Copies of this chain bind each other. A is one copy, B any other.
């Protein structure tokens, strides 16, 4: 297990020098889960039919958020995002506590010397926050859970796949 690399010899944070790293194709997929009341999910689903589409807004927000990653995460490098795609899956079956959920996945791609994990993580986070924002008038108890990296490929550390089920 290597050391934290985001610090210089004085122990202060730095943006790691990646100028010697080769350019490779990189893909990363992250997920998040919004837990919400069944009535809130029903409203979102009704809205989709009626064009008042919370998820369409969340999708745009997630894609735009991915592009803002280096503005938001201090040590992230600016990259040339080659593509971002976001998907939503609604899970209307209530869990033991009576909550439904919306699963969000985002896949980001680039060709370059550094990865797109943070872009994918930021995309799902901003998409989830947007759902919260648009539904908070009816359900302040919503929460965002399981923001995590599902898999990534490319780069020196190679392929990663999340082992365990999150949660």
Interface residues of A (CB under 8 A from B): 1-8, 10-19, 25, 39, 43-44, 47-48, 50-57, 59-61, 63-68, 70-88, 97, 109-113, 117-118, 121-122, 125-126, 128-130, 132-138, 140-149, 152, 157, 160, 162-164, 166
Pair A64/B63 contact, Cβ less than 8 Å: no
Pair B12/A51 contact, Cβ less than 8 Å: yes
Pair B78/A72 contact, Cβ less than 8 Å: no
Pair A110/B19 contact, Cβ less than 8 Å: yes
Pair B147/A143 contact, Cβ less than 8 Å: yes
Pair A4/B77 contact, Cβ less than 8 Å: no
Query: Nearest Cβ in chain B — how far from A40, in angstroms?
Result: 9
Contact pick for A13, options B25, B52, B132, CB 8 Å = B52
Assuming the contacts A4-B137, A13-B52, asked whether A70 and B67 have C-beta atoms less than 8 A apart, the reply is yes
Pair B75/A57 contact, Cβ less than 8 Å: yes
Assuming the contacts A14-B84, A85-B15, asked whether A129 and B72 have C-beta atoms less than 8 A apart, the reply is yes
Roughly how many angstroms separate A23 CA and B31 CA in the complex, as a whole number?
31
Please, which residues of chain B bring their CB within 8 A of the CB of A12?
51-52, 55-56, 59, 86-88
Please, which residues of chain B bring their CB within 8 A of the CB of A53?
11, 13, 51, 53, 56
Q: Which 9 A-B pairs have the closest CB atoms?
A: A17-B83, A11-B51, A7-B52, A144-B147, A143-B148, A19-B82, A11-B52, A14-B85, A15-B84
Known: A4-B138, A125-B144, A125-B147; 18 extra A-B contacts, CB below 8 A, are A4-B43, A4-B134, A6-B134, A12-B87, A13-B60, A19-B25, A53-B53, A56-B60, A57-B60, A61-B72, A64-B72, A78-B81, A97-B164, A117-B140, A118-B129, A140-B149, A144-B144, A144-B147
